[in-house]
């Protein structure tokens, strides 16, 4: 718990104790400049969890509505772990073979959230699979196709 959190907990405790001491919640809330709904929320939290209940919780939603479904995230993680694909290739693969449309930024956030945003050493650069053509005589083993169009000459 940080100093600011501790200071806020102490302030809430003072307000709760003051209201109990004077026996009038409305006067205590007016004196400290807080709403009664906040007071009762703090009182309920203090009765249930003690001092830990008075710590300010983060205001992030527990189940964000736009979050990628877990089964799609699992496919992304599988493709990364098994085939070492990057976000763009995963995006293309999912769109082509599964009909799932995700942006590469969304895929990157899924990978980062699960600690897979960096590929293992040595797998980031892919080698180009080409074979160099070396022969002793230049032009050896070259095949060329040519298309000669049919000309229809007019007799004239």
pTM of the model: 0.46
In this prediction, residue 43 carries a pLDDT of 95
Q: Rounded to the nearest 5°, which phi and psi values hold at 22?
A: -85, -20
Average pLDDT over residues 36-58: 92
Model confidence pLDDT, tens digit, residues 90-126: 999 999 999 999 999 999 999 999 999 888 776 656 5
In this prediction, residue 2 carries a pLDDT of 83
Integer Rg of the chain from CA: 34
- What's the CA gap between 116 and 11, in Å, rounded? 42
Contacts of 98 (CB under 8 A, 6+ apart): 75
Angstrom CA distances, 31 to 23, 36, 89, 128, stand at 13, 12, 61, 74
């Amino acid at each position: 718990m940080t100093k600011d959190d501790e200071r806020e907990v102490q302030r809430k405790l003072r307000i709760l104790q003051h209201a109990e001491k004077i026996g009038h919640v409305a006067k205590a809330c007016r004196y400290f400049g807080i709403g009664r709904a906040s007071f009762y929320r703090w009182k309920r939290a203090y009765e249930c969890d003690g001092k830990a209940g008075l710590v300010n919780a983060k205001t992030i939603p527990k189940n964000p509505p736009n979050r990628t479904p877990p089964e799609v995230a699992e496919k992304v993680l599988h493709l990364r772990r098994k085939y070492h694909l990057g976000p763009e290739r995963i995006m293309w693969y999912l769109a082509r073979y599964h009909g799932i449309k995700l942006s590469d930024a969304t895929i990157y956030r899924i990978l980062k959230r699960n600690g897979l945003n960096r590929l293992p050493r040595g797998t980031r650069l892919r080698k180009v699979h080409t074979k160099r053509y070396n022969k002793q005589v230049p032009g050896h083993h070259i095949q060329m196709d040519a298309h000669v169009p049919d000309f229809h000459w007019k007799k004239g």
